[in-house]
Structure 1
């Protein structure tokens, strides 16, 4: 596949293929309008680690509109809250829909939790997680608590449970993508409980137990690259660790680097020839994740901040991929690639990619990404005669946020 031709690849354009006439008659006109808006626009910014968002959107709508059970109502109300936020901004209706969703989840949890109900609880929790990521003002990382609740449901059901076969694997992969990326946030933000100690008395939930929770291993449903990212965030040790200079650590790093390097981004299955742009865009996206993972592994595993021709070459390749993609709104690769910008030209280039991403997503992580990158570049510029500590630099910038940021 050739890049650099100037052809822009579209990762996904959602096509609202479901007519509004089939919606349940119990929905009022305004709610039907919001669901229509959710189909067309709001779902475009759901952070999903798969190429075909149309199919995933169909799954969410079926869970939301399948019946009038509390679990189905929870999905519907959370979708209405997200759509209302996109359409009208942070108005009272957003909080009303959100409250209805939470009450429905509480009501539903009092009854037997079987396959479809578990799906609906997971979907509602993840939509609420995204709603919190959009910038709802609070002093807690509630997005992570919603995510942790979804992961608890999966763990209680069992990763290998039959309910997570077929379409259930899509929900499992959605949760695991967020949980894997939250490990990156955790490494650099949550430092021995200090980030939440000041607001603990205001917490309506036990936030510290959310943050200290051990994330179970990823499952067979996860993308190969996600599994390597999980292992990377779990494996990397700090210089103060007693095993940091051990042969065992060095060998494990070399093995993981080989595994990531050998990942071959493949076009998604089930994509027709007329969806060529979607298929090509997905391969480019996986290449970007692969490059970001390798750069972070080389930097963080040895706390290396110096110049590296190998890293420079990977960064340049990443920029070529970003230039060819029409939009790329996943924050982690943009952050890792942006941290490598040393010259003004390079910095303007990455800011251009961030601004393009912000046009298609209102995730707080993207709006804060520009600020984080600028803070990192200021620190780099101030270090005239020495190299900044890579890990401490990320720690200092990311942990300065009162709410743990997400980089999905």
Structure 2
């Protein structure tokens, strides 16, 4: 039964045109016509309903079918129960994605036209957005609260665009690529086109909607639309200026969110050559002037983003190929030396202003930044000189990265996993990297993670085939990443 069908049509398994206050079928048959949620409980002999996992008591003893109670519960209810279990020391089910310090956020207000099906999808979005969208956010709950305020701000078309984007992504994560995903996405795109105005609220909401749609397209991976959404969001931000007063305070998170995706896309563009003409066209979106080792700010990564992102952006742009005339110049050598020193001293600690109540989040954030820094140093040493051999310094950094990954509950950032995974030469280390990817997939069924696993396995095969010699580091990345028809995303 569709959530928006009337009760009579649902009981009769008939098609309902969902007209209010009375559908055409009920009017024709002169039957009462009612809409909305109708609670029901199964009979004891009913076998038509099942649980998503076996119910266990506090001693982890599985209950029989006759001992199980069926409940009418939403995604939010289940997530709240998981939070209560963890904080009571009763453990958690394997697929739980909540941090024990982070209870799920409840909605205090909903749009009037939101049906039960959409409400359930919105609950699911709230419970999963921190792990699927906020991949590079220090305070994930604050980021989620910002998104919620944007799609519940009012009943304007711009708010509806953010809401429909969230429903499309939530529907994909919950039910897969079904008709509802396309329906919500088309509504969001139509609203984005028809709700263009110069108001501050509208611009901010358009940025948020485009970034949510970017994640949806990353999951579908049918073309390069995900990158177009990132570019669109960045152009909206640049149209008013990153230093504009409207992006001060919590709204600066939107800038950092878009710029993180822009930076990661630069790496993809460096190694994805399946369509050189398309790459040259895309690269014009964010041109960069030649910089000295003084690391002056570049216009595409603002002060709102973490310092590690500004360094990664410069690195992706400035590393030269051996065929470049400046590859053997003293200026290039000085730049590499200066840049490595600057990257090495980046502070990985969480800001002192972070509340003590989120100490676990502070530890995870510090580990995340250190993983990005280690990955940056590894990539710099290998890519800048196309070095594929072994060195004690690289081995030390890789071992430190393994320790950090082992201590993190979930780590789903694709680029560090790729760079660190490329260093895995033994089955033990490769299995550990694959286990981290699988653990990340418990909180996100993103196709980007599946693609990341495939890319790593292809790189490992090439390493194993090269007996007695080393393959070119850059050529290996170019060949494997460039073999994909759609530009990969490593966010």
- Find the counterpart in structure 1 of residue 239 from structure 2: 156
1:50 maps onto 2:133 in alignment:
no
1:116 maps onto 2:201 in alignment:
yes
Aligned pairs for 1:291-302 (under 5 A) are 291-302=374-385
TM-score of the superposition, structure 2-length normalised?
0.75
Partner SS state of residue 220, structure 1: coil
1:69 maps onto 2:141 in alignment:
no
- Find the counterpart in structure 2 of residue 382 from structure 1: 465
CA distance in 1, matches of 2:312, 2:246: 25
Measured after TM superposition, the shift of residue 115 of structure 1 is 1.6
Measured after TM superposition, the shift of residue 53 of structure 1 is 1.1
1:189·1:398 contact (CA, 8 Å) conserved in 2? yes
1:82 maps onto 2:154 in alignment:
no
Measured after TM superposition, the shift of residue 209 of structure 1 is 4.0
- Find the counterpart in structure 1 of residue 316 from structure 2: 233
CA distance in 1, matches of 2:342, 2:408: 25
CA distance in 1, matches of 2:269, 2:134: 18
1:213 to 285, 288, 307: 285
- Find the counterpart in structure 2 of residue 290 from structure 1: 373
CA distance in 2, matches of 1:192, 1:223: 31
Count how many residue pairs are aligned between Structure 1 and Structure 2: 383
Bigger share in helix: 1
Measured after TM superposition, the shift of residue 297 of structure 1 is 0.5
1:129 maps onto 2:217 in alignment:
no
> RMSD of aligned C-alpha atoms?
1.8
2:381·2:387 contact (CA, 8 Å) conserved in 1? yes
CA distance in 2, matches of 1:268, 1:277: 13
1:15 maps onto 2:87 in alignment:
no
Measured after TM superposition, the shift of residue 48 of structure 1 is 3.7
1:360 to 440, 443, 446: 443
1:407 maps onto 2:490 in alignment:
yes
The superposition leaves residues 120-144 of structure 1 with CA deviations (integer Å, 9 ceiling, x where unpaired) of: 010000000000111x252x21100
Aligned pairs for 1:295-334 (under 5 A) are 295-334=378-417
1:98 maps onto 2:185 in alignment:
yes
1:398·1:405 contact (CA, 8 Å) conserved in 2? yes
Q: Which moved more, 1:321-330 or 1:361-370?
A: 361-370
Residues 236 and 118 of structure 1, relative CA distance in 2, 3 Å threshold: same
TM-score of the superposition, structure 1-length normalised?
0.90
CA distance in 2, matches of 1:165, 1:256: 29
The superposition leaves residues 158-211 of structure 1 with CA deviations (integer Å, 9 ceiling, x where unpaired) of: 1221111112210000000000010000000146626x5xxxxxxxxxx97445
- Find the counterpart in structure 2 of residue 3 from structure 1: none
Residues 105 and 127 of structure 1, relative CA distance in 2, 3 Å threshold: same
Residues 208 and 254 of structure 1, relative CA distance in 2, 3 Å threshold: closer
CA distance in 2, matches of 1:285, 1:261: 15
2:128·2:443 contact (CA, 8 Å) conserved in 1? no
Higher relative CO (CA 8 A, sep ≥ 6), structure 1 or 2? 1
CA distance in 2, matches of 1:251, 1:265: 25
CA distance in 1, matches of 2:281, 2:185: 23
Q: Which of structures 1 and 2 has the bigger CA Rg?
A: 2
2:342 to 259, 273, 282: 259
CA distance in 1, matches of 2:281, 2:317: 19
Structure 2 residue runs of 5 or longer lacking an equivalent are 1-96, 288-298
Aligned pairs for 1:168-207 (under 5 A) are 168-190=251-273, 193=276
CA distance in 2, matches of 1:299, 1:379: 17
